[in-house]
């Protein structure tokens, strides 16, 4: 069995599934070839420029703005697959789907994509578990983090705590007040320390898969100006689980256990809830990055982060 969790695209599914069950993550190296990764990278810039249509919350972009100017104004665009045919195809890229079916089971659906554009100096994301945000009924949530640059410790690669998915506990989240990270809250109170974490450095085109209960974070991009750490992250779950996500109305409470979000793409197998129908609800939107409008940075809760790279 792979000790490091890095598998080639011709991996043995049983070996990969065993690693995933024990450690809560794995990597498929070169799941996208260099040309495919470069095409996603170019398309990411086109999305940021608004060339595929509007992105809610995004600033207006002057046609003569340089790529660097454009990319520096973005941190994370949610649902790029809604406007980009290439990002839509990437949801079901065959080597990626093999990884998903080995880890989740034969029937897999996708409910979300996110495009992270981490320019030099941009913050990371504090420790968290993705099932805090996207619940499943069978703990099947899995993030597929498609690297479109070389992700290194210097430019803010992903870090995971191996095995942290196994207790099946969602740890309490708190506002961190730490400028290394964006506005999302930090999970605390778990029995691991930063020393238990491993960096997941990957080449462009490689994919990091991690369970929805696996604690993970990323640090700021401290590489020189002009160095990006971009990733397309898609989230999947088993088709057998309802997707009790995105309540249909702000005051919707009754029936959450039966709620089944239907803006999903079936990427493998069959959907036992196909009779619930499918719909299009999500729109592409820009997430504020903590330097450009997060309320947490303006209400006195900020702990300054002293770091030469950020002073």
Pick the closest to residue 68 from 119, 115, 116, 121 (CA basis): 119
Question: From the CB of 294, what's the least distance to ligand AKG, in Å?
Answer: 16
| 3-state DSSP assignment of residue 181 | strand
Q: Is 231 in the site for ligand AKG (CB under 6 A)?
A: yes
Cβ closer to ligand AKG: 55 or 76?
76
Of residues 206-225, which lie at the interface with ligand AKG (CB under 6 A)? 216, 218
- How buried is residue 148: exposed, middle or buried, by Cβ count under 10 Å (0-12/13-18/19+)? buried
Cβ closer to ligand AKG: 274 or 309?
309
Tell me how far apart the alpha carbons of residues 124 and 156 are, in angstroms, rounded to a whole number: 7
Question: From the CB of 233, what's the least distance to ligand AKG, in Å?
Answer: 4
Pick the closest to residue 145 from 162, 135, 157 (CA basis): 157
Cβ closer to ligand AKG: 58 or 134?
134
Question: From the CB of 164, what's the least distance to ligand AKG, in Å?
Answer: 13
Question: From the CB of 218, what's the least distance to ligand AKG, in Å?
Answer: 3
Question: From the CB of 124, what's the least distance to ligand AKG, in Å?
Answer: 5
Cβ closer to ligand AKG: 30 or 130?
130
Of residues 152-211, which lie at the interface with ligand AKG (CB under 6 A)? 158
Question: From the CB of 150, what's the least distance to ligand AKG, in Å?
Answer: 14
Tell me how far apart the alpha carbons of residues 261 and 89 are, in angstroms, rounded to a whole number: 21
| 3-state DSSP assignment of residue 89 | helix
Q: Is 78 in the site for ligand AKG (CB under 6 A)?
A: no
Cβ closer to ligand AKG: 65 or 285?
285
Cβ closer to ligand AKG: 79 or 116?
116
Cβ closer to ligand AKG: 276 or 291?
291
Tell me how far apart the alpha carbons of residues 290 and 179 are, in angstroms, rounded to a whole number: 8
Question: From the CB of 127, what's the least distance to ligand AKG, in Å?
Answer: 9
Question: From the CB of 44, what's the least distance to ligand AKG, in Å?
Answer: 13
Query: Which residue is nearest to ligand AKG, using beta carbons?
Result: 218
Of residues 103-132, which lie at the interface with ligand AKG (CB under 6 A)? 116, 124-125, 130
Answer whether 268's CB lies under 8 Å from 102's CB. Answer: no
Q: Compute how many residues bind ligand AKG; rule: CB under 6 A.
A: 10
Cβ closer to ligand AKG: 97 or 117?
117
First-to-last CA distance in the chain?
A: 45
Tell me how far apart the alpha carbons of residues 262 and 125 are, in angstroms, rounded to a whole number: 28
Phi-psi map region of 88: left, alpha, beta (phi>0 left; psi -120 to 50 alpha) = alpha
| 3-state DSSP assignment of residue 115 | strand
Which residues have a Cβ under 8 Å from the Cβ of 224 and sit 6 or more positions away? 120
Beta partners for 78? 114, 285
Tell me how far apart the alpha carbons of residues 79 and 264 are, in angstroms, rounded to a whole number: 11
Q: Which residues bind ligand AKG (CB under 6 A)?
A: 116, 124-125, 130, 143, 158, 216, 218, 231, 233
């Amino acid at each position: 069995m792979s000790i490091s969790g890095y598998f080639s695209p011709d991996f043995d599914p049983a070996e990969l599934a065993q690693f995933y069950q024990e450690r809560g993550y794995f990597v498929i190296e070169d799941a996208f070839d260099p040309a495919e990764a470069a095409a996603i990278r170019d398309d990411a810039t086109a999305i940021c420029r608004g060339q595929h249509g509007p992105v809610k919350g995004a600033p207006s972009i002057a046609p003569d703005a340089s790529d660097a100017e454009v990319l520096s104004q973005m941190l994370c665009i949610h649902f790029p697959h809604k406007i980009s045919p290439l990002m839509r195809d990437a949801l079901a890229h065959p080597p990626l789907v093999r990884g998903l079916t080995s880890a989740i089971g034969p029937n897999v659906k996708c409910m979300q994509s996110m495009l992270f554009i981490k320019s030099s100096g941009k913050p990371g994301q504090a420790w968290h578990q993705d099932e805090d945000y996207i619940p499943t009924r069978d703990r099947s949530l899995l993030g597929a983090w498609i690297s479109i640059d070389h992700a290194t410790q210097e430019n803010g690669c992903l870090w995971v705590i191996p095995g942290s998915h196994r207790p099946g506990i969602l740890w309490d989240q708190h506002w961190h007040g730490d400028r290394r990270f964006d506005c999302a809250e930090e999970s605390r109170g778990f029995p691991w320390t930063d020393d238990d974490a491993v960096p997941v450095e990957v080449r462009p085109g490689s994919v990091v898969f991690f369970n929805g209960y696996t604690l993970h974070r990323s640090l700021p991009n401290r590489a020189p100006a002009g160095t990006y750490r971009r990733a397309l992250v898609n989230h999947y779950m088993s088709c057998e689980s309802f997707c009790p996500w995105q309540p249909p109305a702000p005051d919707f409470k009754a029936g959450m256990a039966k709620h089944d979000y239907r803006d999903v793409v079936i990427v493998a197998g069959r959907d036992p809830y196909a009779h619930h129908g499918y719909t299009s609800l999500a729109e592409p939107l820009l997430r504020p990055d903590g330097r450009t409008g997060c309320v947490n940075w303006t209400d006195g809760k900020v702990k300054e982060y002293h770091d030469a790279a950020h002073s």
